[in-house]
Amino acid sequence: METIEKVENRQRLDVTKFKSDIRELVDNQRFLKNQRKTVKMQGSREMSPSEATWKHQMNRDKLRLMYAAYGLMRGKSFSQVENKYSEEEHPLNEYKLKIGKIISSYVLEEETK
């Protein structure tokens, strides 16, 4: 798989920043989930339920790709990250380019001496 080979060739990745970005998105998902609710609202409403719904959907898609990228960074295949599908017919194969861009954004620049 092309994306896995790219990750193996990388020298250093900023894993701590990657994990903190995932945590931020997860916390935002919890907030947006509460904003979507119309009954038993916890806290105050800061946005409309429809706006919270589409932001929740966008975050969910981004989180899925970030989890896939994290799995690839750890040397796993798509079928190991989401084991519902076989490797050949996995839906994440359509997002290889986006996942590659996510991984490349967390590559540490090496210092030249």
Choose between 83 and 71: higher pLDDT: 71
34 within some domain = yes
Residue 112 pLDDT greater than 60, yes or no: no
Whether 1 shows a pLDDT value over 50: the answer reads: no
Q: Is pLDDT at 26 greater than 60 in this prediction?
A: yes
Report yes or no on 65 lying in a domain: yes
Residue 1 CB partners (closer than 8 Å, separation 6+): 77, 78
Asked whether residue 49 is domain-assigned, the answer is: yes
Q: Who has greater pLDDT, 87 or 39?
A: 87
Residue 62 lies in domain: 2-104
Q: In angstroms, what CA-CA distances link 77 with 2, 7, 44, 68, 83?
A: 11, 12, 42, 9, 10
How much is the pLDDT for 4? Answer: 47
pLDDT value of residue 3: 47
Structural domain count, the chain: 1
The amino acid sitting at 75 is G
Q: Is residue 112 part of a domain?
A: no
Task: Categorize the per-residue pLDDT at 76 as very low, low, confident or very high, splitting at 50, 70 and 90.
Answer: confident
In the numeric block, the tokens 């050949």 are attached to 88
Lowest mean pLDDT among 34-48, 59-73, 75-89: 34-48
